[in-house]
Chain A
Amino acid sequence: MKEKRSTRKTYLYIKRTWTLYLMLLLPVAFALVFRYLPMTNISMAFKEYNMFKGVWASEWSDPIFKWFQRAFHTKDFWLALRNTLMLNGLDLIFGFPLPIILAILLNELAFKRYKKITQTIVYLPHFLSWIIISGIAKQLFAPRTGVVNILIGRSGGAPIDFLQESGLYVATYIALGLWKEMGWNTIIYLAAITGINPELYEAAEVDGATRLRKIWHITLPGIRSTIVVLLIMNMGRILGSEFDRPYAMQNGLVMNVADVLSTYVYRVGIRGSQFSLTAAIGLFQSVICVVFLFAANAIAKRFGERGIW
């Protein structure tokens, strides 16, 4: 009797929900084939890849960590690793505070319509690709005909080749990153500011607090948790790497500072067909990234914040 009821219950459950499972079929198949199946190819990092045998039939390398050892003995790998850390680190130092400042500025802006227009314009660069931005930058900073050098020339300076000299390349790279994302990254802070209780500001007004005092004592504490979570999470991504941005901007003269892990893996792996070596480097990078993210999440929770999962 009991069994019969439970089969009936199962039957009813399936009757009610089978369409939902049907809907999930496509996304699940997608995730399995295009996100999980390639993970089996990570075994490449421990094999002697033979193009004709394929991934599975290729033999295990001896010693098993051969490709990792080889990578750690390659000068270019260390260079790419250093550059990844350096560029991401600089991005964090300069790119993190600016959106907070801009968000507070926008919030203090008294003219509502003007605020809307400003937001529309500062969000715009986010939607341009790095290829477009590198195209704009190469024209803007062109040593002879670029407008920046025209202006420098008019004020009596010598032309500067921003994209072909190591130090200046790094500065330009970071500045363009700021240009693209500073506006966009204010969105999350502006949303957090909207969540602050307006009564706090009114009370401060009654007490005669100045604008700066209100920012310092109400706005900033109000978005503190957002700042902490984003800061920690961004620190967790310090070894992650974008591809389009360094690839579109780098050139032969500045590879010593412009080559990062993602572009190195592409060049040596896909272009140079050294699949096993670069699979090992990719795995090394992914594992460290995951460890950093978990650590960052744990730290965020220790601070009493929500974390990201």
Chain B
Amino acid sequence: MVKSRKRKFDDLVIAVVCFLFILLCLLPMVNIFARSFSSAQAMINNRVSFFPVEFTWESYFYVLQDSAFVRSLWWTALLTLICTVVSLTITVLASFPLIYDNLKGRKFYNGMMLLTMYFSAGTIPNYLLMKQLNLLDNPLVLIIPSCLSIFNMIILRSFFYTVPDSLRESAEVEGAGPINVLIRIYLPLSKPVMATLALFYAVGRWNGFSDALMYISNPKYAPIQFKLYQIINNRSAIDVAQQEGFASPAASEGLKAASVMFATVPILLIYPWLQRYFIAGVTLGAIKE
């Protein structure tokens, strides 16, 4: 009996330690949340920690007045949608043929794709390529160069391998070609793994920053992370207004918090729905053969 009581105490200690990890992960986000809903005066007086003080929508109101920021949100949402569809399509095309063991050139193709994971041309050669292809300042540069992730291709391929060959063979006996096999057997079975890849691609595009920084200078095409970077680093309209004496310095603090919230909330909204799929997906990615 003594033993089981000790057990219970252990379990409690572990549960408390895990709770500390939860707090560690959540508190920074809670703080930003609280700041975004607090009044500028409360922030200046150092009264905001984890609950909104003098609750106000003011900061959100400021953000929504910045038409460039709002447009950037919509633009990034559209971009994310397009990228996800394009990327999923090309990832399926890249992985499906690999399930045919006797396909000639399969090994070579596989090696050619995997090699790009370990050796890439580098920042400058890539930049010059975009210049040569006339893709600088072209919105396509945010879609095409990053449309296929080899890591995701490996995940999908590993999943396809787990589908029993007998399913495919029985369909082939009935005269189904590769396209039919893909559409009728493989795609319906791979909904969970496709959801995982959709999450990875969508988050990748939503969070993408460096390609916009390097290849895009027209503010019309600036994705949300780029706008957010400018706001955080005091290059927003309100900072200019503040320097010219039109706005109080504290307003920009709340504005930054609200802008961060705008960039974060879409991820928080889709993440829980896809969460149950991605663990299996990540584990598949560890299989390289």
Residues of A near any B CB (own CB < 8 A): 13, 16-17, 19-21, 23-24, 26-28, 30-31, 33-42, 44, 54-55, 102, 105-106, 108-111, 114-115, 117-118, 120-125, 127-132, 134-140, 142, 144-145, 147, 150-151, 153, 179, 183, 187-188, 191, 211, 243-244, 247-248, 262, 265-266, 269-270, 275, 278-279, 282-283, 285-286, 290, 293, 308-309
Say yes or no: is B203 at the interface (Cβ < 8 Å to chain A): yes
Known: A24-B109, A129-B207, A140-B31. A282 touches B125 (CB 8 A): yes
Interface residues in B94-112 by Cβ distance below 8 A to A read 94, 96-97, 100, 103-104, 109, 112
Query: How distant is the Cα of A309 from the Cα of B213 in the complex, in angstroms?
Result: 33
Chain A contacts of B114 at CB under 8 A?
309
Chain B 1-41 interface 0/1 with A at a Cβ cutoff of 8 Å (1 = within): 00000010011001101100110111011011001000000
**Which of B63-71, B225-233, B239-247 lies at the interface?**
B225-233
Q: What residue of chain A has the Cβ atom nearest to residue B95's Cβ?
A: A27
Query: How distant is the Cα of A285 from the Cα of B43 in the complex, in angstroms?
Result: 45
8 closest residue pairs by CB, A with B:
A41-B125, A129-B207, A282-B122, A27-B94, A38-B121, A38-B129, A20-B97, A110-B11
Chain B contacts of A247 at CB under 8 A?
210, 213
Known: A136-B28, A139-B253, A145-B46. A23 touches B97 (CB 8 A): yes
Q: Which of A24, A142, A270, A285 contacts B97 (CB 8 A)?
A: A24
Chain B 174-189 interface 0/1 with A at a Cβ cutoff of 8 Å (1 = within): 0001110000000000
Known: A27-B113, A278-B124, A282-B125. A122 touches B21 (CB 8 A): yes
Known: A24-B97, A134-B232, A147-B48. A127 touches B282 (CB 8 A): no
> Nearest chain B CB to A56's CB is how many angstroms away?
10
> Nearest chain B CB to A21's CB is how many angstroms away?
8
Chain A contacts of B253 at CB under 8 A?
139, 142, 145
Known: A27-B113, A42-B125, A118-B22. A244 touches B210 (CB 8 A): yes
Q: What residue of chain A has the Cβ atom nearest to residue B281's Cβ?
A: A187
Chain B contacts of A108 at CB under 8 A?
10, 14
> Nearest chain B CB to A111's CB is how many angstroms away?
6
Query: How distant is the Cα of A17 from the Cα of B179 in the complex, in angstroms?
Result: 10
Known: A31-B112, A129-B225, A290-B118. A179 touches B271 (CB 8 A): no
Chain B 148-171 interface 0/1 with A at a Cβ cutoff of 8 Å (1 = within): 100001000000000000000000
Q: Which of A28, A183, A269 contacts B123 (CB 8 A)?
A: A269
Chain A contacts of B123 at CB under 8 A?
243, 262, 265-266, 269-270, 278, 282
Instruction: Judge whether A131 and B229 touch: CB under 8 Å.
Output: yes
Say yes or no: is B144 at the interface (Cβ < 8 Å to chain A): yes
Query: How distant is the Cα of A260 from the Cα of B227 in the complex, in angstroms?
Result: 23
Known pairs A30-B147, A114-B18, A129-B207; list 14 more (Cβ under 8 Å). Answer: A13-B104, A19-B179, A27-B148, A27-B153, A31-B116, A31-B148, A36-B116, A41-B125, A105-B21, A125-B25, A153-B46, A278-B123, A279-B124, A286-B122
Say yes or no: is B279 at the interface (Cβ < 8 Å to chain A): yes
Chain B contacts of A13 at CB under 8 A?
104
Interchain Cβ contacts under 8 Å between A and B, 25 examples: A17-B100, A20-B100, A27-B153, A30-B144, A31-B112, A33-B133, A42-B121, A44-B128, A118-B22, A121-B25, A131-B228, A145-B43, A145-B46, A145-B253, A153-B46, A187-B283, A188-B282, A244-B209, A247-B210, A265-B124, A270-B124, A275-B128, A285-B122, A286-B119, A309-B114
Please classify the interface of chain A as helix (H, G, I), strand (E, B), loop, or mixed, using the class held by over half of its residues: helix
Known: A144-B46, A279-B124. A118 touches B177 (CB 8 A): no
Instruction: Judge whether A34 and B145 touch: CB under 8 Å.
Output: yes
> Nearest chain B CB to A304's CB is how many angstroms away?
17
> Nearest chain A CB to B75's CB is how many angstroms away?
16
Residues of B near any A CB (own CB < 8 A): 7, 10-11, 14-15, 17-18, 21-22, 24-26, 28-29, 31-32, 35, 43-44, 46, 48-50, 90, 93-94, 96-97, 100, 103-104, 109, 112-114, 116, 118-129, 132-133, 144-145, 147-148, 153, 177-179, 203, 206-210, 213-214, 225, 228-229, 232, 253, 256-257, 259-260, 263-264, 267-268, 271-272, 275, 279, 282-283, 286, 288
Q: What residue of chain A has the Cβ atom nearest to residue B46's Cβ?
A: A150
Q: Which of B15, B97, B259, B268 contacts A111 (CB 8 A)?
A: B15
Query: How distant is the Cα of A298 from the Cα of B250 in the complex, in angstroms?
Result: 56
Q: Which of B21, B97, B275 contacts A118 (CB 8 A)?
A: B21
Q: What residue of chain A has the Cβ atom nearest to residue B232's Cβ?
A: A135
Chain B contacts of A33 at CB under 8 A?
133
> Nearest chain B CB to A23's CB is how many angstroms away?
5
Chain A contacts of B24 at CB under 8 A?
179
Known: A136-B29, A309-B114. A55 touches B128 (CB 8 A): yes
Chain B contacts of A124 at CB under 8 A?
25, 268, 271
- Which of B25, B32, B259 has most chain A Cβ within 10 Å? B25
Chain B contacts of A44 at CB under 8 A?
124-125, 128
Instruction: Judge whether B260 and A187 touch: CB under 8 Å.
Output: no
